[in-house]
Structure 1
Amino acid sequence: MVRPRKQINLNPQEPDLANVVATLQRQLLEQQLETNRLREQVARLNQIPQANEEPLQDNPVPPVAPQVPEVRQGVPRNVEVPLVPEGIQANPPLVREDLLFERFRRMKAPEFEGTTDPLEADNWLIDIQVILDFMGITEREKVLCASFALKKDARHWWMTVQMRKDVAAMSWQDFVAEFRMMYYNSEILAAQQDEFTSMKQGSMTVLEAVKKFEQLARLCPELIPNETAKVRRMMKMFRTDIAKQVSAGSSPPTQVSDCISRAIRAEYWINQDKEARAQIFKAKKEEKTVVKQFQPRQNQESYPKGQINNSGQNSKQFGKNKRKGNAIGQ
C-alpha cells in the first residue's frame, strides 16, 4: 500500500516587510548609541595618563562602524536592509530626543491647550510633573517634554517665550515660573483668595466642602503657612453644629486629617438625629390624620337617619330665651 506524500507548501506566508524594516532600524539606532558611548569612554581613558607611564599621544580613535545584526530569516532576497554609510555618523542628540519623545508618548501625558481657570492649569502642571519625575530625566529634558505637550493657544504662548528667552538653557523651575506668570492671573487669584477666606460649607457635605477647600488652598498657600492655620481656617468653614462637635472635648484637633475625620463622624450622627426626628414627626402627623378621618364617622353614627345634631343651636336658643326673660322680669 502506497502512503500519500506530504504536500510541501511552496508558497510560505511572506513576513510583514514594514515590521522587519522598522525592527532593523530600531536595532541600528540602539547600536549607534552604544557605539558613541564606547567612543566617549575610550576618549576619556586616552586623556587620563596612567601612573608610572608616559602620557599617551593624541592618536585619533579609529571609527567603529556600526554592525547591523544579521537578520535573514523571513526576509525576501529582494529586500535591501538600510545601512548607514561608513563616512556618515548619526547625530546622538537628535537620536536621544527621538527616544525621549517616544518614552514621553508612552506615558500618555495630558495635553494643555490653555485656559483662564488657574485650577485647571495647576492640575495639568501637577500631572505633568509627576510623569516627568517618574521618567527620571534632566532639567532640560523636562522642559522639552512639557513644551511638547502644549497645544493651540498654549503653543502660541510658548513660541513667544522662545523669542525672548533662551529655552535651551532653561531649567524646570524657570519653566514653572513662566507658566504660572501666564496662567495664574493676578486678578483671578485675588478672587480665588477672597472666595477661600469667605468659604462656608452651606448645604455641601463634609467631603464636598473639604475637596473645594483643598482646591482653593492650593492657589493661596500664603494664607495657610502651617498645619495649625489650615485647621483653624477649616473649622471656620464647617457648619456651626459640626464645628461644635469637632472642637468639643479637652483636646481639639491640631492636624487636618484628624479635623476631617471628626467632622465626618459629627455629620453622620447629626444626620442620624435628623432622620429620627423626621420619622417621629411623620408618625405624629399620620396619627392626627387618622383621628380626623375617624371623628366625623363617630358623630354621624350617634344619631338615627333623618335626625340632625342640633345641640349647638338649642343651647344658643336657650341662652337667648333666658336673657329675654331676665329683661321682662326687670
Structure 2
Amino acid sequence: MPRARNRLTTRPRQTTRSSPLSHGNVTGERAAIYPTAGSKCHNVTLIREFKALTPPIFLGGPNFLEAENWMKEIKKILDVMAVPEEMRVSLASFMLRDEELFLSNYFPEAVRIQKRAEFIHLVQRNMIVTEYVAKFTQLSRYAPNVVADEQIRVEQFQEGLRLNIRAQVAPLMLHTYSKVVARALLPLLLLASDIHSYA
C-alpha cells in the first residue's frame, strides 16, 4: 500500500509563469501577474522591471540630439514593458539627474514650435521614400494633434511626397498610414527586386 503524502511537508509543485516581457498579449499578462495599477506594490514592481532593463541615465549637457536619443531609448523600454501612459513620466524621471533642468533646457517651447512647423512643411524633395518616412516619423512626435487622426496623418504624408509618387498613391484613396507608406515604397521595392534578379 503506497504511503500517503503528508500535505504539510510536501512542497507544492512550482509553476512557471511567462514573463510579461516575453511574448503574447503583454498587457493581458501584466494584468494577470502584477498587482493593480496605482498600488504601491505595482509601482515598485514596475520600477524594478524598468531598472532591470538598464535604461540609460541622462546626465545633461548642451547637445539637444543627445537628449532626444536618450528619450527614444527610454520610450523603447517603456513600450516593451507596456507601461501605461500615466506611469511613463515617473519612470523616465528616475533616469534624469535634474528633471526640471532637462525639460527647460532640451524641450523649450520655441524648439517644440520650430519642430512642429518643420513637420507641417515637410516635403520629400530629393530624399528617397525611406528617408522621407523616417523624417516624417521623427518629426511627427512634435505634432501629436496631427498624427492622432489617421486621416489627417495620411493626408499630411501624401502632401509631402514628390508629385510623381503622390500621383500613384493619392488616387487609391488609402485610409491608413501603413498602407500609404507601403504603396509609396512599392516602386523602390520593385526596383530593388529587378536589380536583384539581374545580379
Which residue does the alignment assign to 2:183?
Answer: 262
Q: What is the CA–CA distance in structure 2 between the aligned matches of 1:238 and 1:247, rounded to whole Å?
A: 10
Residues 56-75 of structure 1: pairs in structure 2 closer than 5 A: none
Q: What is the CA–CA distance in structure 1 between the aligned matches of 2:70 and 2:143, rounded to whole Å?
A: 15
Residues 149-160 of structure 1: pairs in structure 2 closer than 5 A: 149-150=95-96, 155=97, 157-158=98-99
Please report how far the alpha carbon of residue 260 of structure 1 lies from its aligned counterpart in structure 2 after TM superposition. Answer: 0.8
Please report how far the alpha carbon of residue 105 of structure 1 lies from its aligned counterpart in structure 2 after TM superposition. Answer: 4.5
Q: What is the CA–CA distance in structure 1 between the aligned matches of 2:141 and 2:134, rounded to whole Å?
A: 11
Contact kept? 1:112, 1:124, Cα under 8 Å:
no
Which residue does the alignment assign to 1:127?
Answer: 76
Please report how far the alpha carbon of residue 200 of structure 1 lies from its aligned counterpart in structure 2 after TM superposition. Answer: 1.4
Provide closer, same or farther for how the CA distance between residues 228 and 113 of structure 1 changes in structure 2, counting only shifts above 3 A.
Answer: same
Alignment: residue pair count = 147
Please report how far the alpha carbon of residue 266 of structure 1 lies from its aligned counterpart in structure 2 after TM superposition. Answer: 3.5
* Amino acid across the alignment from 1:259: V
Q: What is the CA–CA distance in structure 2 between the aligned matches of 1:104 and 1:224, rounded to whole Å?
A: 28
| Identical aligned residues as a percent | 24
DSSP 3-state at the match of 1:219: coil
DSSP 3-state at the match of 1:194: helix
DSSP 3-state at the match of 2:175: coil
Which residue does the alignment assign to 2:27?
Answer: none
TM-score relative to the length of structure 1? 0.37
Q: What is the CA–CA distance in structure 2 between the aligned matches of 1:222 and 1:103, rounded to whole Å?
A: 31
Which residue does the alignment assign to 2:110?
Answer: 187
Q: What is the CA–CA distance in structure 1 between the aligned matches of 2:51 and 2:185, rounded to whole Å?
A: 41
Return the structure number with greater relative CO, CA threshold 8 A, min gap 6: 2
1:199 aligns with 2:145: no
Q: What is the CA–CA distance in structure 2 between the aligned matches of 1:242 and 1:122, rounded to whole Å?
A: 33
Which 5+ residue runs of structure 1 have no aligned equivalent?
Answer: 1-92, 162-177, 276-330
Residues 19-168 of structure 1: pairs in structure 2 closer than 5 A: 104-114=50-60, 115-117=63-65, 119-120=68-69, 122-130=71-79, 133=82, 143=90, 146-150=92-96, 155=97, 157-158=98-99
Provide closer, same or farther for how the CA distance between residues 197 and 126 of structure 1 changes in structure 2, counting only shifts above 3 A.
Answer: same
DSSP 3-state at the match of 2:118: helix
Which 5+ residue runs of structure 2 have no aligned equivalent?
Answer: 1-39
TM-score relative to the length of structure 2? 0.58
Provide closer, same or farther for how the CA distance between residues 105 and 247 of structure 1 changes in structure 2, counting only shifts above 3 A.
Answer: closer
Please report how far the alpha carbon of residue 261 of structure 1 lies from its aligned counterpart in structure 2 after TM superposition. Answer: 1.1
Provide closer, same or farther for how the CA distance between residues 131 and 228 of structure 1 changes in structure 2, counting only shifts above 3 A.
Answer: closer
Provide closer, same or farther for how the CA distance between residues 185 and 110 of structure 1 changes in structure 2, counting only shifts above 3 A.
Answer: same
* Amino acid across the alignment from 1:116: F
Please report how far the alpha carbon of residue 148 of structure 1 lies from its aligned counterpart in structure 2 after TM superposition. Answer: 4.2
Please report how far the alpha carbon of residue 111 of structure 1 lies from its aligned counterpart in structure 2 after TM superposition. Answer: 1.9
| Alignment root-mean-square deviation, CA | 3.7
Provide closer, same or farther for how the CA distance between residues 129 and 102 of structure 1 changes in structure 2, counting only shifts above 3 A.
Answer: closer
